[in-house]
Chain A
Amino acid sequence: MRKVKILLAGTVAALAVSGSVAHAERGTDGELKILFWQAVSTLNPYLSGGTKEVYSSSMVIEPLARYDEKGELTPTLVTEIPTADNGGVSPDMMSMTWKLIPDVKWSDGTPFTAEDVVFTWQYCTAPDGGCAQAAQYEGVKSVEAVDPQTVKITFSEPKYYPYSAFVGAQSPIIQKAQFKDCVGAKAPGCTSANFGPIGTGPFVVKDFKPNDVITFEANPNYRDPAKPAFATVTLKGGGDATSAARAVLETGEFDYAWNMQVEPEVLATMLQAGKGKIETAFGTQVERINLNWYNPDPALGDKRSTKEAGPHPALSDPAVRRALSMAIDRTIIDEAGYGESGQPTCNIVPAPDMYISTANDWCLTQDIEGAKKLLDEAGWTPGPDGIRAKDGVRLSFLYQTSTNSVRQATQELVKDMWSQIGVASELRNVSASVFFGGDPASPDTFQKFYADVEMYTNNFDGTDPEKYLAEWLCDKVPGPENGWQGQNIPRYCNPEYDKLVAELAKTGDLGKRAELARKANDMLTAEGAHIPLIHRGQPSAVSLSIEGLRMNAWDSELWNVADWSRKK
């Protein structure tokens, strides 16, 4: 993966091989201090799907297999990844079989068996449980324990990409003995289990203060006797990103801080203290501007931004959509707000490598003159105030996003660039809890899209974009009939596109899948469902004294915390 900076990977490999070397003994490196500026509220990722909960619990509970920093599946609690070639996945794609590693123990010393895996599926699919990761188990008909070391998953229909259940930090295995009385509606009542799940991972929870601080200790029953190197881990929460960066880079009080959404020059000032560095991993996050294909005119009342409101008076013109994208200088946005942790992009599926398309790379260079020409030709001519108009429709847009200093800076830059081609914009920012809240009563959610254009980031879990690309299907348009819950935010609808995605779901060959996905991606950008801006990475601040860290955007960032150690 070209975009991932693999640091110290060699050292790690050396450590892994020479497990008996003196400095690689369990618990010899003292305390590891981690800072999450969004505090962790529970350690049961099935009850809260937040990234912070998933990451922090990944130190304790593990999935059967996880993605490494290159986005490749690696076995965790199983002997190998089941594929059609090794017989693990049935030829009809209706079932798969996982072989567990023998003699794995839970941190309480009891054996880890296939029963626990089956129970995890039952736990997350129980009615009234409100399991946040239920989507991971979508299409799973049954999970059976063939024998204590073998788990068989049966799907309700052929699944061409079967790696979802029990794969990745989102669906770790929980212990049956601990959670057996916590299924369904009883799940929230099991506070002590939710706050201290028993796991197979390198650390065990010693103390948990919700939304504040977690203390972990090395797991005495961890399957690798030489790991983890740290005896304890403190994971502190709260505050803001800038002060978290300061605590690692400038004062050196902490070893690791997650999610450093901080202006690049502020980070650069802190880096001068010489105590830490910024590590970035690139996953699939793309900051984009969605264009509303329906009319959001407030005069339409409740009908705005729905099919009944009709097409957008200006944005329904492909020339306008294209000109808006051409006018943007993505490099400037990247430099001002993202620095090392972002790259200009024209794709909505920016990774992994085999899905990257170059068909729309015209958008990477700003072309003000070209955009002007395009608008002129389409009949949008500048009025007396410099704003272009046609048939009484002015190119003046309400541009909304969530509150976040980088986003507000981007908004101002884009407004400035658009004004150069005669497009006016009114900026609005909405509190993130409202914007992403999805409350059907609120006019400010990103689903309702009561604006002409809006900006945010989206991505997909794992490495397969099928489910993600299905978000732009015609029947996923949000509207009153589905409680504004559709995911097709731009209200893009093209039967050709629907056909393409349906074909993708029926294709098993990886090369063919990649080709279809690229085609779908190209179609979305070329037709102007949205304007992709920045391929965002996940930057973290790391103390220079930490070794063995491999930044990973495909799984939990703490996925290999067992391998971390302190430089002597």
Chain B
Amino acid sequence: MTDASATAPLPGIAPSRSVAGDIWRQFRAHRGGLAGLFVFVFIVLAVYVGPYIHQVAPNTINVRERNQWPSWAHPFGTDNLGKDMLAQVLAGGRISLAVGITAMLLALLLGTLVGVLSGYFRRLDGPLMRMTDLFLALPLLPLLLVILMLFRDTLRSAFGPETGIFILIVFVIGITSWMHTARIVRGDVLAVKSQEFIVAAKSSGMREHRIIIRHVLPNVLSSIMVSATLGIASAIITESALSFLGLGFPSDFPTWGRLLYDGANFMQLTPSRVLWPGLAISLTVLSVNFMGDAIRDALDPRALKR
């Protein structure tokens, strides 16, 4: 038996069952994946629908009610300017989720592209990997300051302060975090490429891009999935670091990473200030991780036959 046959259309499967349906059945069978999906949908719903239920503006300052512990009026307490923490966590979630997922996807796309190309095509390997080395070596902070100097004002005038900064942040995180994925994917592709089923596919005259999509990618998927989950976590945290350079959103835009950072010093005074943003980040990453596991299992060429 060869692995090549695994991804080829299986004769035993009834034509009415689509590939997507198969994947969904596999996914549903994965308890962790379902739980992850449930939690993730809950978080997304909470941050988008929540503000209609908890109708407190995240930026309302009330100095008389600062540093409060949780109460009915402020279920997550307040910060040192008297801003409602629940409203801030919800508002922060919208930005953090958007930044985290978009930036992760961009990094993943770039990293996978570079990794697959340099792993699969020997001629591209040298130049692409040396470019990866260069990006790995660039000092991050000066790089960010230069990007900020060159592009901020252009983007701000083209897209307005918020969208402009969003694009800038996603771009910055994306282009500074694809290298690990690229190196990892390349290593996996090198190993997969030398296996018999690829050689077989090649000798059967299959086109290169079909080989990559049908045989190579599914076999390196697990590493990509791990990179994706870790990528969301680091993108959310990196965003908060960027705002200290003046590269992030203006200081009255809460994000999970920044709520956690600002709250860290108030840990003993109002623990709920760090508890909730921290929990939100962890839960998001955990749920994405379990969904990733389930997707990987569902797409696993060998698992389909089980």
By the criterion of a CB under 8 Å from any partner CB, how many residues of chain A are at the interface?
31
* Cα distance, A403 to B262, chains bound together (Å): 12
Task: Check if A23 is an interface residue, CB within 8 A of chain B.
Answer: no
Task: Check if A263 is an interface residue, CB within 8 A of chain B.
Answer: yes
**Cβ-defined partner of A431 (8 Å) among B66, B145, B265:** B145
Task: Check if B269 is an interface residue, CB within 8 A of chain A.
Answer: yes
A403 and B265 in contact, given A336-B63, A409-B81, A429-B251 (Cβ under 8 angstroms)? no
B250 touches A442 (CB 8 A): no
Task: Check if B126 is an interface residue, CB within 8 A of chain A.
Answer: no
Task: Check if B266 is an interface residue, CB within 8 A of chain A.
Answer: yes
A408 touches B266 (CB 8 A): no
A442 and B265 in contact, given A336-B81, A409-B80, A430-B246 (Cβ under 8 angstroms)? no
**Cβ-defined partner of A266 (8 Å) among B59, B161, B265:** B265
Task: Check if B38 is an interface residue, CB within 8 A of chain A.
Answer: no
* Cα distance, A231 to B111, chains bound together (Å): 58
- CB of B271, distance to nearest CB on chain A (Å): 12
Residues of B within 8 A of A263 (CB): 80, 265-266
* Cα distance, A443 to B246, chains bound together (Å): 13
B67 touches A412 (CB 8 A): no
- CB of A420, distance to nearest CB on chain B (Å): 11
* Nearest-CB residue, chain A, relative to B249: A427
**Cβ-defined partner of A444 (8 Å) among B67, B149, B161, B252:** B149
Task: Check if A411 is an interface residue, CB within 8 A of chain B.
Answer: yes
Interface secondary structure of B, over-half rule = loop
**Cβ-defined partner of B246 (8 Å) among A242, A262, A409, A431:** A431
Task: Check if B48 is an interface residue, CB within 8 A of chain A.
Answer: no
* Cα distance, A415 to B245, chains bound together (Å): 21
- Proximity string of chain A (433-475) to chain B, C-beta cutoff 8 Å, 1 when within and 0 when not: 0110000011110000000000000000000000000000000
* Nearest-CB residue, chain A, relative to B150: A443
A428 touches B245 (CB 8 A): no
- Proximity string of chain A (168-189) to chain B, C-beta cutoff 8 Å, 1 when within and 0 when not: 0000000000000000000000
A262 touches B265 (CB 8 A): yes
Bin the interface of chain B by size: 20 to 34
* Cα distance, A408 to B148, chains bound together (Å): 19
* Cα distance, A145 to B98, chains bound together (Å): 71
Residues of B within 8 A of A434 (CB): 145, 246
* Nearest-CB residue, chain A, relative to B262: A405
* Cα distance, A132 to B266, chains bound together (Å): 38
- CB of B255, distance to nearest CB on chain A (Å): 13
* Nearest-CB residue, chain B, relative to A415: B252
* Cα distance, A515 to B66, chains bound together (Å): 42
A428 and B246 in contact, given A265-B80, A443-B153 (Cβ under 8 angstroms)? yes
* Cα distance, A456 to B148, chains bound together (Å): 21
- CB of A239, distance to nearest CB on chain B (Å): 13
Residues of B within 8 A of A503 (CB): none
* Nearest-CB residue, chain B, relative to A407: B251
- CB of A407, distance to nearest CB on chain B (Å): 9
Residues of A within 8 A of B149 (CB): 441-444
A269 touches B250 (CB 8 A): no
Residues of A within 8 A of B145 (CB): 431, 434
Residues of A within 8 A of B244 (CB): 403, 431
**Cβ-defined partner of A412 (8 Å) among B148, B153, B251, B266:** B251
- CB of A265, distance to nearest CB on chain B (Å): 6
* Cα distance, A265 to B79, chains bound together (Å): 11
* Nearest-CB residue, chain A, relative to B161: A426
Task: Check if B204 is an interface residue, CB within 8 A of chain A.
Answer: no
Task: Check if B268 is an interface residue, CB within 8 A of chain A.
Answer: yes
* Cα distance, A443 to B150, chains bound together (Å): 9
A266 touches B81 (CB 8 A): no
* Cα distance, A269 to B265, chains bound together (Å): 11
* Cα distance, A411 to B81, chains bound together (Å): 11
* Cα distance, A416 to B66, chains bound together (Å): 15
Task: Check if A378 is an interface residue, CB within 8 A of chain B.
Answer: no
Task: Check if B157 is an interface residue, CB within 8 A of chain A.
Answer: yes
* Cα distance, A185 to B243, chains bound together (Å): 40
Task: Check if B61 is an interface residue, CB within 8 A of chain A.
Answer: yes
A413 and B81 in contact, given A428-B246, A429-B246, A430-B246 (Cβ under 8 angstroms)? yes
* Nearest-CB residue, chain A, relative to B141: A431
A428 touches B250 (CB 8 A): yes
Task: Check if A483 is an interface residue, CB within 8 A of chain B.
Answer: no
**Cβ-defined partner of B250 (8 Å) among A298, A409, A426, A435:** A426
- Proximity string of chain A (315-336) to chain B, C-beta cutoff 8 Å, 1 when within and 0 when not: 0000000000000000010011
Residues of B105-120 whose CB lies within 8 A of A? none
* Cα distance, A412 to B153, chains bound together (Å): 22
* Cα distance, A262 to B80, chains bound together (Å): 12
- CB of B151, distance to nearest CB on chain A (Å): 11
* Cα distance, A408 to B251, chains bound together (Å): 6
Which 7 residue pairs are nearest across A and B when measured between Cβ atoms?
A408-B251, A430-B246, A427-B250, A416-B61, A431-B245, A242-B265, A429-B246
